[in-house]
Amino acid sequence: MSATSDTGQSWRPVVGLALGLALLVSTMLVAFGLPAVNSAPRDLPIAVVAPAGTADQMIGALEAAQPGAFDVAVAASQEEAEAMIREREVYGAFILGADGLEVDVASAASPTVSALLTQVGQAAAAQQGSVATVSDVVPTTEDDPRGIGLSAGALPIALGGFIAGVATTLLISGTGRRLAAIGGFAVVGGLAMTSILHFWFGTLAGSFWATAAAATLGILATGLTVLGLESLLGRPGIGVGALLVVFLGNPLSGLTSAPEMLPQPWGVIGQLLPPGATGTLLRNVAFFDGAAIAQPVLVLAGWAALGALLLGLSGLRARRVSAAEAEPVVAA
């Protein structure tokens, strides 16, 4: 049987396109769905405050209830535990005192984790015939109590950088002009998106300018990465950028829960990609006064530097090729 139509055109591209698109959609489903389906606490850092001898019992009870779920640190007092929460060292704390069990959480760090710790604390207190007292040490805003705006907004910020990188590669030529274009968009886009999240949605707290700087760095890192990859690999570089930002970076960012809620090592890998680092940086700047921002800043600065380096090397290569082509041919 012939694989061509009556017009003489082959059906193979049609079949290939259908199979390729089906594979693409299936890959997207796996990339986005698998981390969510397998979401569970894994070495989630928390603190315990209890009288001498009782802390070990609490740690043992937590391990028995959910093996491997928590990475427990013992704090000397409730004040120390709250300081650890504010410094982003732990997500919450269980405080056992004369009045019973108190659970300190930080919904701004992760509403999902806060709900989990509350549930664990209430279950532990119920076994003792009491009710746990829950305190939100670092809450989300009143306008966005579930923190949906941040988890939903970080993706457009990352995708904004990706789209800007693609548009710049297609519309702007010249290394300097490309750098200026992506830098200008990062500043304007960072201010615009932060304004929406801060003033319109009411999602963000803290310093507007510091949060806008964090958003700008996230956009810049993503955009420069796409520019650099395209300059090195051509159009396939855009596909590699999409893989890093969309297929891996977004589902592994942990923004809807926490990196420790993802299967490992994917949660760790997600924090080394632009979307995860951007989301963590925004959260820590907006709600925790800039605590624990060194890693996400270094990750984003590293991606931005790599993209700029690749773009610069591509520009040098292009100039050398142009110079070589411009050299006069000497007759033998």
User: Does residue 123 sit in the same domain as residue 215?
Assistant: no
User: Does residue 231 sit in the same domain as residue 304?
Assistant: yes
Where b means 16+ CB within 10 Å and e means fewer, 66-104 reads eeebbebbebeebeebbebbbebbbbbbbbbeeeebbbb
Asked if residue 27 is part of any domain, the answer here is no
Asked if residue 7 is part of any domain, the answer here is no
Which pLDDT score is estimated for 26?
76
Q: Of 78, 107, 136, which residue is a domain's last?
A: 136
Identity of the residue numbered 21:
L
| 326 CB-contact burial (10 Å; exposed 0-12 / middle 13-18 / buried 19+) | exposed
User: Does residue 188 sit in the same domain as residue 281?
Assistant: yes
User: Does residue 119 sit in the same domain as residue 159?
Assistant: no
User: Does residue 207 sit in the same domain as residue 156?
Assistant: yes
CA angle at 148 for the pair 146 and 154, rounded to the nearest 5°: 140
Nearest alpha carbon to residue 61 among 121, 136, 131: 121
Count of other CB atoms within 10 angstroms of residue 146: 13
User: Does residue 205 sit in the same domain as residue 290?
Assistant: yes
User: Does residue 193 sit in the same domain as residue 77?
Assistant: no
User: Does residue 165 sit in the same domain as residue 303?
Assistant: yes
Each residue's pLDDT, cut to its tens digit, for the chain (332 residues) gives 555 555 556 778 778 778 877 787 777 677 667 676 778 899 999 999 998 788 888 899 899 888 999 999 999 999 999 999 999 999 999 999 888 899 999 999 999 999 999 999 999 889 888 899 999 999 999 999 988 888 777 677 777 888 888 888 888 888 888 899 999 999 999 999 999 999 999 999 999 999 999 999 999 999 999 999 988 888 888 889 888 888 888 888 988 889 999 988 889 999 999 999 999 999 999 999 999 999 999 999 999 999 999 988 887 776 666 666 666 655 55
Asked if residue 91 is part of any domain, the answer here is yes
User: Does residue 164 sit in the same domain as residue 204?
Assistant: yes
Q: Which domain holds residue 127?
A: 44-136
Asked if residue 122 is part of any domain, the answer here is yes
Q: Of 89, 104, 136, which residue is a domain's last?
A: 136
User: Does residue 156 sit in the same domain as residue 271?
Assistant: yes
| 129 CB-contact burial (10 Å; exposed 0-12 / middle 13-18 / buried 19+) | exposed
Which pLDDT score is estimated for 283?
94
Cα separation values, 156 from 47, 133, 164, 228, Å: 34, 37, 11, 21
Cis upstream peptide for 139 (omega within 30°): no
Asked if residue 153 is part of any domain, the answer here is yes
Q: How are beta strands 92-97 and 100-105 bridged, if at all? A: antiparallel
With contact defined as beta carbons under 8 Å apart, do 121 and 131 qualify?
A: no
User: Does residue 117 sit in the same domain as residue 180?
Assistant: no
Which residue in this structure is represented by tokens 């999602």?
A: 203
Q: What is the pTM of this model?
A: 0.88
With contact defined as beta carbons under 8 Å apart, do 224 and 312 qualify?
A: no
Which pLDDT score is estimated for 330?
56
96 three-class SS? strand
Q: Of 79, 101, 136, which residue is a domain's last?
A: 136
Asked if residue 2 is part of any domain, the answer here is no
Where b means 16+ CB within 10 Å and e means fewer, 150-172 reads bbebbbebbbbbbbbbbebbeeb
Asked if residue 6 is part of any domain, the answer here is no
Count of other CB atoms within 10 angstroms of residue 10: 12
With contact defined as beta carbons under 8 Å apart, do 217 and 297 qualify?
A: yes
87 three-class SS? coil
Token digits of residue 153: 């907004």
The number of domains in the chain is 2
Asked if residue 30 is part of any domain, the answer here is no
Count of other CB atoms within 10 angstroms of residue 56: 13
Ramachandran assignment for 97, one of left (phi > 0), alpha (psi -120 to 50 degrees), beta (any other): beta
User: Does residue 234 sit in the same domain as residue 100?
Assistant: no
Phi, psi of 149, deg, nearest 5: -60, -40
Q: How far apart are CA 65 and CA 119, in angstroms?
A: 12
Which pLDDT score is estimated for 259?
93
